[in-house]
Amino acid sequence: MNESNGSFDRTRRAVLRAAVAGVVGAGAAGTASGRPDDPIPGAAPPYDLEERWFRNAASVGHHSLGAVGDASTKGRRDQRIDGERNRAIAVHGDLAAVSYLHASEADPGRRLAILDVTEFNDATSVEELEAAELSVLSIHRSVNAEANSGHGVTFSADGRYVFLATAAFLPFTDGYHGGSSGEADPTEPEKPQVSGGVVAVDVSDPADPRAVDSLTAPFTTGAVNVAHQRIGGEEYVFACKDFGFFAPDSGVYVLRFDRAAGKLSVVNRWSADGNTARGEIGTEHGFSYVHDVVVHEDPLTGRPTAYVADWNRGMRVLDVSEPTDIDHVGQFDAHQINGVAPFPALVETPTGSKRVAVANHEEFDERFDQRDDDNFMNPHPEKLNPNATGTVFLVDCDGIYEGDGTTQLGQLDDWTWANADTGDVSLEELKFQRRHLSPHSPSVVTYETGGERRFLVQQGHRHGGVRYLAVDPGEADGLTGEARRDYRPTENPNVEGRDGTAEFGWIPASTDWRLRDVGHARPRNADTDGLTPRVATTDAENGVTFAVDQRAGAHATRHEAMTPTPALPPVEADHSYEAGPTRTASRVVVDLAAGDRAGDAATVRVRDRLPDGWTLLEGDVETYPQGVRTAVEFTATVDPGADATLEYVVEAPDEVRRGTFGPVEVSADGEAWTELEGTVETVTVGPSL
């Protein structure tokens, strides 16, 4: 085990530090910077953007992503490379990963930037946050870049790998859609990316990321979003195959990732027709566009659960605890769903608790507005909020693991920035602003106020920056079917054709739950006073929201309700299973070392995972179910700078069985857990002697 003495250099420190990903954290995107290319004029009320660039939020950092180095020396606004576009961001501990949608002639082939966010995690006050600085550790280039645009990114649970989705629907090189202007210089020709797909990148040395494999053949037009999940001791990447224009091949592709071999392999594809691994291949679903996937362990059952944005088929919830036999357990009907986010914990209500998610509907542009499944270009008469900037739905996800079949999920509330059919804005204004202010992929964080845990939705809004939506729990269950429809907007002088003679679309009904707009962060474009930033995704760490402006780089901001909290120190661990003379006396030992870090580092909570078939006999631990395994959380905690040996005793199963212990996970709060590398141990036992 490496000695942890607090003397790590910056790059090494960024690798080792574990993350607290969920319990605090919101801010928003921005600094007073922007790019003059593709300016969008400022919007009039009710968009609330002309004068109030920040509301209940403030900028704490920006990096242009033009070059490797600190923000103050290499990341200023005037150092942005013209023509570059960024797409998505993910944060894990002290590292962040940002994808490049388009690279310019000045440096063709850029696909991934690795950033150090250590100073934000070390901050223990607002003043220290304001002084913190983003730093780019490296910029990774890909092969055949002209045919690939970088889209979604995600980290492995231990932060050692980044998985990048690349899309190649068309090899755009126009400086907007993606690809690369100019000839790329392949840095790793043994890993060609001949079309869009998924790339596995080793970031164990974040200053020198290395692509270990790329899987492109199954994807044709490419992948747009990815999620990582460890299931049953194996690692899986779930990738959204985007367009199904040319063949009904859109869906969620399930890839197994073998670290030892450094290989990705397809084990399944799930679509509306079922699992291809089970021979459930059909074409009934026709045109499809699966846009987003988020996988987490269900807060009630512990089962690995995927939330999928399936465009006009709404939000689907999948039981992925058996990756080759995925079950469709929940369905929320809505049109043009492009982003989803399950809440990281159950929401406490006045009468109990509830499993909740958000699903957002994007108004792509006028051609795609209100389309139906049968005709790509025709309006859909049953659409909710039919003439709006796009809607964020709050969804009741209770019932997904109760009984057999697919549970119809209910609507608790919805939030729309502006809607011509409710008189908020004229249709003429809306047509111009619609896509520019449309919501994109959301994320959900928790925070405490008055000793109570609350949830905040961080909603990206293309040129509208980040909107913060607070969740006020109610007592009601979600509305389904006809109950979701409040009234048809048949008459409205702001909307052409709304003269009472046509029935078209619905204004949705709501319950006693509320999504409330409690702030925004939208840094102004200093050159043009145009609307910025063009935000697609957000992620949070230590009270800070990290977001990407496609035109201006990475932003860090904080919502005023968020305060810094102690981050986890760097942690390393070894896991060992010591079989006893009989099956009834096997010891499980976790040797752990917690390093020091700047600021007030958090005390470390530790847990292991007990495989199915093994029984706890003794130990100073608490157990609780986690899908097909059992969490074993130690009562003892570990202080920063301390070492510890933690153990418990188990009884092995009587029959021959193979089981996987670990990975060991650490947490500052008992809710957000981070895997430790190298702590998965698979053992095989025989019958008792």
In this structure, of 29-38, 77-86, 203-212, 602-611, the range with the lowest mean pLDDT score is: 29-38
Token pair, residue 410, equals 């209910």
Q: Which residue has the higher pLDDT, 427 or 579?
A: 579
**Closest among 339, 342, 316 to 329, alpha carbons compared:** 316
- Cβ-proximal residues to 429 (8 Å cutoff; 6+ apart), any chain: 43, 44
Q: Give me the percent of the chain exceeding a pLDDT of 70.
A: 79
Q: Which helix (H) or strand (E) holds 120?
A: helix 118-122
Over residues 618-643, the mean pLDDT reads 92
pTM to 2 decimals? Answer: 0.88
Band of pLDDT at residue 552, cut at 50, 70 and 90: confident
551: pLDDT strictly greater than 70: yes
48's torsion region: left (phi>0), alpha (psi -120 to 50) or beta?
A: left
Over residues 217-224, the mean pLDDT reads 80
CA distances from 459 to 197, 262, 344 (A): 26, 35, 16
| 8 A C-beta contact, residue 142 and residue 148 | yes
Rounded to whole angstroms, the Cα distance separating 648 from 43 reads 61
Strands 352-354 and 292-297: unpaired
Predicted local distance difference test score (pLDDT) of residue 256: 98
Predicted local distance difference test score (pLDDT) of residue 181: 62
CATH class, domain 19-66+84-317+330-559, is mainly beta
CA distances from 303 to 231, 329, 689 (A): 9, 12, 34
Predicted local distance difference test score (pLDDT) of residue 491: 80
Band of pLDDT at residue 533, cut at 50, 70 and 90: low
What is the distance in angstroms between the CA of the first residue and the CA of the last residue of the chain?
A: 34
264: pLDDT strictly greater than 80: yes
Strands 407-408 and 327-332: parallel
Predicted local distance difference test score (pLDDT) of residue 14: 36
36: pLDDT strictly greater than 70: no
In this structure, of 49-53, 274-278, 393-397, 511-515, the range with the lowest mean pLDDT score is: 49-53
Band of pLDDT at residue 581, cut at 50, 70 and 90: confident
Q: Convert 305-336 to b/e letters by CB count within 10 Å (16 or more is b).
A: bbbbbbbbbbbbbbbbbbbeebbbbbbbbbbb
Q: Which residue has the higher pLDDT, 87 or 144?
A: 87
17: pLDDT strictly greater than 60: no
534: pLDDT strictly greater than 80: no
Band of pLDDT at residue 244, cut at 50, 70 and 90: low
Predicted local distance difference test score (pLDDT) of residue 353: 95
Predicted local distance difference test score (pLDDT) of residue 90: 97
Strands (E), 143-193: 149-155, 161-167, 179-180
What single DSSP character describes residue 72? Answer: H
| 8 A C-beta contact, residue 25 and residue 543 | yes
pLDDT mean across residues, the chain: 82
365: pLDDT strictly greater than 70: no
- How many other CB atoms are there within 10 angstroms of residue 493's CB atom? 10
Rounded to whole angstroms, the Cα distance separating 683 from 126 reads 48
Predicted local distance difference test score (pLDDT) of residue 48: 47
Rounded to whole angstroms, the Cα distance separating 385 from 506 reads 6
Predicted local distance difference test score (pLDDT) of residue 2: 30
| DSSP per residue, 592-656 | EEE---SS-PPPBEEEEEEPTT-EEEE-SEEEEEETTEEEEEES--B-TT-EEEEEEEEE--SS-
Strands 356-362 and 410-416: unpaired
Q: Which residue has the higher pLDDT, 2 or 235?
A: 235
Q: Residue 448 — φ and ψ, nearest 5°?
A: -115, 140
Give the pLDDT confidence of 272-311 residue by residue, as tens digits: 888 988 988 776 666 678 899 999 999 999 899 999 999 8
Band of pLDDT at residue 447, cut at 50, 70 and 90: confident
> Side chain identity at 622, as an amino acid letter?
E
* Positive or negative torsion for Cα 556, 558, 564, 568: negative
587's torsion region: left (phi>0), alpha (psi -120 to 50) or beta?
A: beta
> Side chain identity at 654, as an amino acid letter?
D
29: pLDDT strictly greater than 50: no
Q: Which residue has the higher pLDDT, 156 or 145?
A: 156
Q: Across the beta sheet with 665-667, what order do the strands follow?
A: 621-626, 629-634, 605-610, 665-667, 674-675
Give residue limits of the domains in the chain: 19-66+84-317+330-559, 571-685
- How many other CB atoms are there within 10 angstroms of residue 577's CB atom? 18
**Closest among 279, 275, 252, 253 to 266, alpha carbons compared:** 253
Over residues 374-384, the mean pLDDT reads 59
| 8 A C-beta contact, residue 14 and residue 118 | yes
Q: Which residue has the higher pLDDT, 152 or 377?
A: 152
Q: Give me the percent of the chain exceeding a pLDDT of 90.
A: 49
119: pLDDT strictly greater than 50: yes
Over residues 618-635, the mean pLDDT reads 91
Which residue reads 């008469």 in tokens? 381
In this structure, of 46-60, 219-233, 459-473, 610-624, the range with the lowest mean pLDDT score is: 46-60
Rounded to whole angstroms, the Cα distance separating 580 from 589 reads 13
- Angle, vertex CA 17, rays to CA 16 and CA 20, nearest 5: 145
Band of pLDDT at residue 174, cut at 50, 70 and 90: very low
Strands 621-626 and 657-661: unpaired
Over residues 200-212, the mean pLDDT reads 95
Rounded to whole angstroms, the Cα distance separating 651 from 107 reads 58
| 8 A C-beta contact, residue 623 and residue 633 | yes
Predicted local distance difference test score (pLDDT) of residue 307: 98
- DSSP reduced 3-state for 26: coil
For 571-685, CATH number? Answer: 2.60.40.1170
Rounded to whole angstroms, the Cα distance separating 462 from 464 reads 5
In this structure, of 172-186, 528-542, 579-593, the range with the lowest mean pLDDT score is: 172-186
What single DSSP character describes residue 421? Answer: G
Q: Across the beta sheet with 315-319, what order do the strands follow?
A: 292-297, 304-309, 315-319, 327-332, 407-408
| 8 A C-beta contact, residue 163 and residue 153 | yes
- Cβ-proximal residues to 457 (8 Å cutoff; 6+ apart), any chain: 341, 358, 392, 442, 443, 444, 468, 469, 470, 471, 515
| 8 A C-beta contact, residue 84 and residue 156 | no
- DSSP reduced 3-state for 389: coil
Predicted local distance difference test score (pLDDT) of residue 565: 84
Rounded to whole angstroms, the Cα distance separating 236 from 230 reads 6
